[in-house]
Amino acid sequence: MPAANHYDVIIIGTGAGGGTLAYRLAPSGKRILLLERGDYVPREKDNWSTRAVNLEAKYNTKESWRDKDAKPLHPHTNYYVGGNTKFYGAALFRLRKEDFGELRHHGGFSPAWPISYDELEPYYNRAEELYQVHGQRGADPTEPPASKPYPFPAVSHEPRIQQLSDDLKALDLKPFHVPLGIMLDEKNPRTSRCIRCNTCDGHPCLIYAKADAQVVCVDPALQHSNVTLLTGAYVERLETSPTGREISKVVLKRNGSREEYQGNVVVVSCGAINSAALLLRSASDKHPKGLANSSDVVGRFYMGHTNGVVLALSKCPNPTVFQKTLAVNDFYFGDKDFNFPMGHISFVGKLDGVTLSAGAPAIAPGWTLDLMGKHSLDFWLTSEDLPDPANRVTLNRDGEIVLSYTPNNLEAYNRLVKKLEQVMQQQTKCSAHGHDCHVGLFARNLFLGQRIPLAGVAHQNGTIRFGRDPKTSALDPDCKAHDVDNLYVVDGSFFPSSGAVNPALTIMANALRVGERILERLR
Ligand SMILES: Cc1cc2nc3c(=O)[nH]c(=O)nc-3n(C[C@H](O)[C@H](O)[C@H](O)COP(=O)(O)OP(=O)(O)OC[C@H]3O[C@@H](n4cnc5c(N)ncnc54)[C@H](O)[C@@H]3O)c2cc1C
Ligand code: SF4
């Protein structure tokens, strides 16, 4: 009989990586322990309140980190069962095939991955099935080859977005439908689980119709009697056997007390920043620079994308309810004016006056925030930031997380904004206002300034990179630590480069891949 606190596999963190892995391992009958520092997101009307979510940041962690100048940093991140997928916009993109190779950017090089796109492709299929992705193959000009169709049809555009799509097509661009993990059945609206509401991106789904890691992975995994979840379980430290080659204890705090657990396999999946912090906190005689860190890469190469929200204001109102249906990848790898990758254009959920007041937007003369919210098209821009060893997670003397980051490759982002402006200035379709309709573009972000600031860590990745060489990577190509025989990492930490599409589907697909390796090992 195994001891009560001994498990075959311990998974720390229940988000896109940890939750998906738990789902994959659950049917094996192995004893699996899921450790999650947060609780379930409470189901309450505030889930769908833009005031509670965007203005009061009700569900954000209240934790304070530091930036490189030791100033307090209040991260926009969430600690709950399901991790940040509870709040995500469920835009579930595959990385491009080229993102797995080395790519030359204006600001430097984006390094190759130790696995190819083709190796991950079957797992992308499975992740798309699991997360019920609605999309249309063949429309995205940079789409990688896929061996299966999307499991569900694309989510339709509402009239204003359809009009934009038609306009963009008239300019010889190839707008397409964002692949989305929402449980929408447009043919049967009466029975559709998703009701296509205006509080999806950034909000938890009150009626569990978003394919998040809690709803589609953790809850089903817990139907298996061999799977146990402990919430409110903050993992403080991992300890090793005397050789340093094996995790011997997972040490956590729960209800104010210290508890210890053992696992034959231990998987860290706390999100790229917290996973790096956990390994650094677990330094010991055998691992003086931090656990599994003989390479000194743990915490380094932090990436988070260069993201920004750009409002396009028109005289015509934009009555769209669910706006995040259209994307443009024509500039992803560059164009004739700029022969370097620029990135990805899509949408955030429809912004309203309340949400706009959470930042400090450039107010258009004569417009109130409410009016801006009623007339804006709210674009979301993503450009790749490049891995830099100086962009890193460390711990200060008080054990606080320090996130040091200097943006790079900004020309790509600036060019992408310019492209969007040029494209929007060519909009001619409005029958009521003619050319005057699209009066201007106002760049803002949900917080301050032009771009999403450092606290916007939604796309965090890269801090425990995988690779073939133990001198330059912490994980091997199966995401097992080079230095420790029973330690794996399956959150966004493993990315050696980040591409310029949203990261979650790649994290999910990789967790399914690593899950297979772990199952082979346990057999
Ligand atoms: C508002 C918002 C919108 C987004 N929209 C999209 C989108 O449309 N498409 C997309 O692809 N991505 C999107 N993302 C990003 C996406 O949510 C993340 O890429 C993804 O959730 C990361 O998965 P992960 O497993 O690395 O970490 P997470 O999902 O963050 O999971 C980490 C888990 O570990 C737990 N944890 C942390 N530390 C500890 C500890 N010490 N002990 C125990 N547990 C711990 C956390 O509570 C959390 O549950 C969005 C994110 C946000 C915030
Ligand atoms: S009902 Fe649909 S659109 Fe609304 S939050 Fe849920 S999944 Fe998103």
- Ordered mean pLDDT values, 10 residues apiece, the chain (523 residues): 87 98 98 98 98 95 96 96 98 98 98 98 98 98 98 96 92 97 97 98 98 98 98 98 98 97 98 98 98 98 94 86 98 97 96 80 70 88 97 97 97 94 76 65 40 87 98 98 98 98 98 98 94
Mutate to test the pocket of ligand 2, among 43, 156, 207 (most ligand atoms within 8 A of CB): 207
Ligand 2 atom nearest to 193, measured from its CA: 1
pLDDT at position 435 = 63
Question: What is this structure's pTM?
Answer: 0.97
| Long-range pairs, 471-475, Cβ under 8 A, ≥24 | 471/295, 472/295, 472/297, 473/114, 473/295, 473/297, 474/279, 474/292, 474/293, 474/295, 474/297, 474/298, 475/292
SS3 78: coil
pLDDT at 376: 87
Q: Which atom of ligand 1 is nearest to the CA of 13?
A: 34
| Among the bound ligands, the one closest to the CA of 87 | 1
Provide the 3-class DSSP secondary structure of residue 8.
strand
Compute the distance between CA of residue 413 and CA of residue 449 in angstroms, rounded to an integer: 14
Tell which atom from ligand 2 comes closest to the C-alpha of 184: 2
The pLDDT score that the predictor gives to residue 448 is 28
22 lines ligand 1 (CB under 6 A): no
Compute the distance between CA of residue 515 and CA of residue 478 in angstroms, rounded to an integer. 10
Q: Which residues line ligand 2 (CB under 6 A)?
A: 182, 194-197, 199-200, 205, 207, 209-210, 322
Per-residue confidence (pLDDT) for residue 372, from 0 to 100: 83
**Of all protein residues, whose CA lies closest to atom 8 belonging to ligand 2?**
200
Query: Cα of 271 to ligand 1 centre, how many Å?
Result: 6
CA 212 to centroid of ligand 2, rounded, Å: 11
Residue closest by Cα to atom 13 of ligand 1: 88
